[in-house]
Structure 1
Amino acid sequence: MSLTGFNSPWWLLFLLVIAGLVVGYLIALRARQRNIMKFTNLALLDTVAPRRPHAERHIPAVLMLVGLALLTVALASPTKEQRVPRDRATVILAIDTSLSMEATDVTPSRLVAAQEAAIDFAEGLPEGLNLGLVSYAGTASVLVPPTTDRAPVASAINRLELSERTATGEAIFTSLQAIESIAAIIPGEDEPPPAHIVLISDGKQTVPADLDAPRGAFTAARLSGERDIPVSTISFGTMIGSVVIEDQVIPVPVDEASMQDIAAMSGGEFYAAASQEELAAVYETLESQIGYEIRRGDASQPWLILGTLFIAIAGGIALVVSRRIP
């Protein structure tokens, strides 16, 4: 039972009272022994103080004191870290659908593997979390606005189609707009709900060519960081990937460098995956980090249960051994 603190620590002062009871019990034992020795008639001594196993006499009292100590800890309201599903957060999944995603260096292809892993990721997120889907190639589109319904997200992922060019910056800008839209209609809080963008890509930005352009990926990443919306990037594929376009074999190596920079500028995390299994592991990590948060929760119940059991057992043993409650 690991603890992170107490909500009512002053109750722990009662442990001093329990310590006093221990001292009082030991004093009472010594006083009882002195009183017994005052009897000179040995026959009467056996009647007044019959011999019993030494340890057996003390078991009920020891259990009672331990039970009181456990109940004292429970009264102090101990806390521990608990993994709690987020119920107001928004996540945008942005998937690269440029032609390079047709490469088969990842079986059966980069796109198909990304689709299967993305659906598993969507279905594994907490039910109360809003999930949206953005696809991007030469432009970016919100295929599914943030919603708690996973069915339209999974359906849209299955219908992804490839297109020319890669506008990574537009993907981030579009994701930010989708987050702003859902934040405006979520009631009950003064501050917008936490948000996160998960961007998966296999290549570098081609539109615009300059990553620092007004609509470039680096510009979008900095804006996302200013709004406290991290972009976690996944570089998906290998350095030996290629596609065939008009009978020409075109190399499409992954661009990990730009993905690392985007994540760093926005306050997100960078991941690299060269297979469907690695991608699934990355999504599992993101699911744990984004979909859940660590909070201090009540941890008094185990202490309450144990304390009650100890005291109940102490009473039962006392009734059997000495026919009285200690």
Structure 2
Amino acid sequence: MSFSGFTAPWWFLLLVVVAALAAVYVVVQRVLRKRMLRFANLSMLERVAPRRQGWYRHVPVAFLMVAFLLLTVALAGPTAEQKVPRNRATVMLVVDVSLSMKATDVQPSRLEAAQVAAKSFADGLTPGINLGLISFAGSATVLVAPTTDRGAVTSNIDGLKLAQSTATGDAIVAALSAIDTFGKVVGGADGPPPARVVLMTDGKETVGTRRAFDAAEDAKKAGIPISTISFGTEDGVVEIEGRRQDVPVDDDSMREIAKLSGGEFFKAASAEELRRVYDTLGEQIGYEKKQADASRPWLILGTLVAMAAVAGALVLGQRVP
């Protein structure tokens, strides 16, 4: 038996006491039986000590022993891996608003589908997460610094406007800078809260003062993984200044950015897939698995079994065991 899952395993020493009580009960029952058989007149024995119930008269005591076992486990402090909301974390949501996002290969358009999914993601995050928003095209703009105010984020998502070019690297740099600034403000004895960048884009980097791959390596050094979402299809087409242009998604670049930063790559070719990706990220970011107290079920079950033992004793023997 492993005691690694208990916070106070020394309470299991009480099992010795439980075993001793069970042994004493057996001995006492045998002694009482021998004393009763000393009566010479069996008919008098029947009148003085009426025939008692069979084996089931021992059921209340058996229940009581089981209750002691269950309560001992509860006292030992069992733990279990449980999903608990994060109390502190920083997430920067970085959304591509380049002109390719007006492609309608995802209905009603890439941008509108992205806005709906991003707002759902923001609303669904656990309250302890500080969420910020950055939009980028030819340059990156911090629209909302990390905050627990979801209203500020969703209102700015509604206001996203398209622009030319795609400066993915600059957007990552802006996200890292916002996280660093926020961390210095809220960081206490435990240091800045854990952070992550969620980068959603549909196209290849075209401009910028910092290459996306170099920025991803900076994120790796800072311990900030980037979850990249490549959104759209290979068949995207837009009209720019009267010209029809193909705007296929750039999965390879997004996959490499995630790899270099220590994050994860996600592919979303439809609005529904994008929603599922955001749901997955919400679970990963908003919750963490910890060893938490699991004694309550043992305590409840032990108490119920003890009550059943008392009730059974009163019904069968008109006394408490």
TM over 0.5: yes
Match of 1:127 in 2: 127
Q: 1:34-49 residue pairs with structure 2 within 5 A? A: 34-49=34-49
Give, in whole Å, the separation in 1 of the partners of 2:306 and 2:66. Answer: 8
Whether the 8 Å CA contact 1:132–1:147 is kept in 2: the answer is yes
Matched, 1:306 2:301: yes
Give, in whole Å, the separation in 1 of the partners of 2:56 and 2:4. Answer: 37
Match of 1:292 in 2: 287
Give structure 1 regions of 4+ aligned residues with deviation exceeding 4 angstroms.
Answer: none
Matched, 1:224 2:219: yes
2:56 is paired with a residue of what secondary structure?
A: helix
Give, in whole Å, the separation in 2 of the partners of 1:268 and 1:4. Answer: 31
List gaps (5 residues or longer) in structure 2: none
Could you tell me how far 1:200 is from its partner in structure 2?
A: 0.3
Could you tell me how far 1:48 is from its partner in structure 2?
A: 4.2
The two structures, once aligned, show a CA RMSD in angstroms of: 1.6
1:245 to 240, 253, 256: 240
Q: Which deviates further from its counterpart, 259-268 or 295-304?
A: 295-304
Give, in whole Å, the separation in 2 of the partners of 1:244 and 1:95. Answer: 21
Q: Which deviates further from its counterpart, 290-299 or 67-76?
A: 290-299
Whether the 8 Å CA contact 1:117–1:276 is kept in 2: the answer is yes
Please, what TM-score do these two structures have when normalized by structure 2? 0.95
Deviations 1:205-234 (A, max 9, x none): 1114xxxxx710110101101111000000
Whether the 8 Å CA contact 2:187–2:193 is kept in 1: the answer is no
Match of 2:5 in 1: 5
Deviations 1:294-316 (A, max 9, x none): 12211112211221222122122
Give, in whole Å, the separation in 2 of the partners of 1:189 and 1:242. Answer: 51
Could you tell me how far 1:45 is from its partner in structure 2?
A: 2.1
Give, in whole Å, the separation in 2 of the partners of 1:95 and 1:5. Answer: 43
Could you tell me how far 1:74 is from its partner in structure 2?
A: 1.0
Whether the 8 Å CA contact 1:114–1:279 is kept in 2: the answer is yes
Match of 1:168 in 2: 168
Could you tell me how far 1:187 is from its partner in structure 2?
A: 4.8
Match of 1:236 in 2: 231
Could you tell me how far 1:64 is from its partner in structure 2?
A: 0.6
Whether the 8 Å CA contact 2:11–2:75 is kept in 1: the answer is yes
Identity of aligned residues (%): 54
Give, in whole Å, the separation in 1 of the partners of 2:163 and 2:282. Answer: 28
Q: Which deviates further from its counterpart, 185-194 or 236-245?
A: 185-194
Match of 2:102 in 1: 102
Matched, 1:261 2:261: no
Give, in whole Å, the separation in 2 of the partners of 1:294 and 1:50. Answer: 60
Give, in whole Å, the separation in 2 of the partners of 1:47 and 1:310. Answer: 34
Could you tell me how far 1:119 is from its partner in structure 2?
A: 0.2
Please, what TM-score do these two structures have when normalized by structure 1? 0.94
Q: Which deviates further from its counterpart, 81-90 or 163-172?
A: 81-90
List gaps (5 residues or longer) in structure 1: 209-213
Match of 1:211 in 2: none
Give, in whole Å, the separation in 2 of the partners of 1:241 and 1:229. Answer: 31
Aligned residues: 319
